[in-house]
């Protein structure tokens, strides 16, 4: 089963920062775009942003722009999510699935290879 592996979660105070990582242990998702999607308890999954594997172009949803960036030194390798100025609304489990072939967008149904995620908690 294809899965990507997320790490780097933890607890931070409001205003704090975290960097999440997403790796592809099997090396079989190197030519896929990858997204960061989060889910808080009792809430639907929420699209955070995406990075393409060609050129490494990235974008994030408007609600987190200016606080969250998605990057990769090599899009076929580790993908990062940098959270700055953390807010309680960022508390969620963060996942890094890959885009289905031909898909790029905010619909979370367009992604597969979901890992277990990594928990981020922003609290004082």
Q: What is the mean pLDDT of the chain?
A: 91
Pick the more confident residue, 81 or 28. Answer: 81
Residue 76 has a pLDDT of: 63
pLDDT at position 54 is 77
In 3-state terms, what secondary structure has residue 39?
strand
What tens digit of pLDDT does each residue of 61-84 get?
999 999 999 998 775 678 999 999
Are 9 and 120 spatial neighbours (Cβ–Cβ below 8 Å)? yes
Q: Which of 8, 7, 9 is nearest to 25 (CA)?
A: 7
What integer is the mean pLDDT of 12-36? 90
- As a whole number, mean pLDDT of residues 81-88 equals 97
- Give the whole-angstrom CA distance, residue 56 versus residue 62: 19
Which region, left, alpha or beta, applies to residue 89 given φ > 0 means left and ψ of -120 to 50 means alpha? alpha
Percent of the chain with pLDDT over 70: 98
Mark out the alpha helices in the chain (DSSP H runs).
Answer: none
- Stretch among 46-50, 72-76, 87-91 having the lowest mean pLDDT: 72-76
């Amino acid at each position: 089963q294809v899965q990507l592996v997320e790490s780097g979660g933890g607890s931070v105070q409001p205003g704090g920062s975290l960097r999440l990582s997403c790796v592809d242990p099997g090396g079989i998702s190197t030519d896929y775009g990858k997204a960061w999607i989060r889910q808080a308890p009792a809430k639907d999954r929420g699209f955070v942003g995406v990075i393409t594997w060609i050129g490494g172009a990235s974008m994030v949803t408007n609600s987190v722009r200016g606080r969250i960036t998605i990057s990769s030194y090599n899009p076929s390798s580790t993908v990062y999510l940098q959270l700055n100025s953390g807010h309680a609304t960022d508390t969620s489990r963060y996942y890094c699935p890959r885009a289905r072939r031909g898909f790029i967008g905010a619909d979370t149904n367009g992604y597969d290879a979901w890992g277990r995620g990594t928990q981020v908690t922003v609290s004082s």
